[in-house]
Structure 1
Amino acid sequence: MSDEQGFDPDSVAGAVDEEVSMDDWAAAMAEQEVADTAAAEVKPATNLFQDLSGSSQSQAVPQNLDMILDIPVQLTVELGRTKIAIRNLLQLAQGSVVELDGLAGEPMDVLVNGCLIAQGEVVVVNDRFGIRLTDIITPVERIRRLQK
């Protein structure tokens, strides 16, 4: 991005320097709590498939799931990507601008261990960046994207 393409560093600095009160965090958390409550009201279908194992292992699944809940994963939010020649990479210095393929205002990709799981928009509260998820990728869609 350059000044010729409509990039205004003063407007970006002004947007980042805006102070956000604790009321904004509280409002964001309350909004998330309402969304979580609505999602919790949806009951998943159970007993859709016949137990073919002949044992009661289906009741052991939740206990086994508890074993993996503390495994850390790498969550990444991606602004965009670009390919750059090593020659140009070595010429980068402080203040250099690298143009990415992502457009301003476009949703950011949320990846878990390199796999796209959601998209969202950047939020700034008290000088900290966060992401508000706007679209969750379904498991079917994730598989379809892997097959491309």
Structure 2
Amino acid sequence: MSDQREVAVVRWPGRTPSAGAGPAELLAAYHLTTQAEKGEAVAGVEDLPDRYRVEIADPRTAFADDVVLLALSGDSAVGCLVVTAPADGRSEVKRLWTDPEFRGSGIASSLVGAVRLSVWKWRAGAIALYERLGFTVTESWDERDDLVCMERAL
């Protein structure tokens, strides 16, 4: 018996009412994990910085100008990707998250396209994934310390 789960990638919000709350739960897990990795762990979503709580509370408005892709297993969102609206002719990956239970099944590969991204330098697994997908480290466009900027040639 195979443990493979069928996963579909869809643009959110879409025309169908599937995906429940959309990316909200995935974004909450992403931001809570990131805060802990920064050494600034918080007890719950209500303790996150305002800019992150807004994304979780109302992702439709927070990402109104961006592209949000969801990986769905049935009606459950198991992965998400947020790509910013183009600036200077390029888009940027702002959020890429896969439910830990679904990691290793190609979901991130299915979500990622030819875009640039930034990733915290301590996320070695994510950096290795991006390198396998053809991304290379490039000159930073972000002034924050500890970010690695990467892009993939078209």
Give the TM interval when normalised to the shorter protein. under 0.3
The structure where helix makes up a greater share of residues is 1
Name the structure, 1 or 2, with higher relative contact order (CA <8 Å, separation 6+). Answer: 1
Please give the TM-score of this superposition, normalised by the length of structure 1.
Answer: 0.22
TM-score by length of 2: 0.21
